Structure 1
Amino acid sequence: MECMVQDLSVARGGVPLLQGVGFSLVPGEALVLRAPNGAGKTTLLRCLAGLQPPLSGQVNLPEEGVAYASHADGIKTQLSVRENLRFWASVHGVADIGEALERFDLVGLQTRLAGHLSAGQKRRLGLARLLVTGRPLWLLDEPTVSLDTSAVALFGDVVRSHLAGGGMAIIATHIDLGLPEARVLELGAFKARADTMDTFDEAFL
């Protein structure tokens, strides 16, 4: 099982952002994406998650093997913490939510309505869904938003455990998650050239 991206080009709102992106991951590896805001990190992750098509290139990921955590927490506010996790576990055919509750320090909050949680607690609940997907490749877009220092450390532990178990992760973040073994991909090297943008625009004239 390997993640392979070759010569990938992506656009947002009809404007090319990145071109020629390429990398590979094998089980146990993590890749950190770095770039200024607006440079294309989210667009790239959405493309890898299959939420939007690329302009060109190839994406080969584990079939039915991707879990995507975006800026949104993706929780149902009218359900309790436990009910939220049970819902997502049932979607992915997973029976046990105990580990997700424990690893994200949600045991004491499991009967509370998600809508009554703080921003940081909601974020922990949203990230806890990763542990009930059973999927090997995590795509994480600024996962530590709203988390305090202790919660960031907790999340770093979860990612390390995922990698140690043969999982993979691609993470857009400027925060140190304590993953010294993770490779860093500077997306600035793949910024779309002006001539590429001109050609793209002309196709719609």
Structure 2
Amino acid sequence: MELRVEGLTVARGGVPVLEGLGFSLKAGEVLVLRGPNGSGKTTLLRTLAGLQPPQAGEISLPPETIAYGAHADGLKAQLTVTENLMFWARVYGTGDIDAALSRMNLVSLRDRPAANLSAGQKRRLGLARLLVTGRPIWLLDEPTVSLDTASVGLFADCVRAHVADGGAALIATHIDLGLEAEILDVTPFRADPDAARVQGAFDEAFL
């Protein structure tokens, strides 16, 4: 199981934001994306997740290996914590949600509607979805937003367990999660400055 990227160019609104990017991510590895806001980390993750095509280059990975955690938590507000996790477990063909509830400290909230959760609790539930996908490669975009220190620790423990079990994780984050990880700074791969000035017309929240 390996994610391999060669000569990749990714764009937002047709404007290149990163170009000539190459790296690999193997089983048991964590790779942390770094770079200033607007540098293209989200665009890269969306491209790797198959939500938009690359402008150039190759992305090689086995089919049905990616689980993508974006800025949005992807929850159904009217469903309970349990019902949300059961929905995703059925989508991905897995069944057991008890471990996910326990590892993200959601057991006491299992019958609460998602609409009644705090921002941090919603984020924990959103991350718990990763644990029921059965997918080996996690692509995570600022996963610790809204989490307190204890919850960040829970999440880091989940990543450690995931990679120890043969999984891999690519994480865009500005904080130190205390993980054994390689760092990929996307700054050297930013596209031509003239194109970057044009991209200012677009919403940098999506870059």
Deviation at 1:81, TM superposition (A): 0.1
Q: Structure 2 counterpart of 1:119, which letter?
A: A
Aligned equivalent of 1:193: 192
What secondary structure is seen at the aligned counterpart in 2 of 1:111?
coil
Deviation at 1:62, TM superposition (A): 2.3
- Indicate conservation of the 8 Å contact 1:62/1:137, yes or no: no
**Structure 1 stretches lacking a partner, 5+ long:** none
Q: Structure 1 counterpart of 2:156, which letter?
A: G
Structure 2 counterparts to residues 1-205 of structure 1, below 5 A: 1-179=1-179, 181-194=180-193, 197=195
Between the two proteins, what is the percent identity of the paired residues?
66
Distance 2:95 2:122 in 1: 22
Per-residue CA distance 1:26-46 (angstroms, 9 max, x = gap): 100010000111110000000
Distance 2:146 2:106 in 1: 16
Deviation at 1:137, TM superposition (A): 0.2
Distance 2:137 2:62 in 1: 8
Deviation at 1:3, TM superposition (A): 0.9
Q: Structure 2 counterpart of 1:190, which letter?
A: F
TM-score w.r.t. length of structure 1:
0.94
Deviation at 1:193, TM superposition (A): 1.7
Q: CA RMSD in A?
A: 1.5
Deviation at 1:175, TM superposition (A): 1.1
Q: How many pairs does the alignment contain?
A: 198
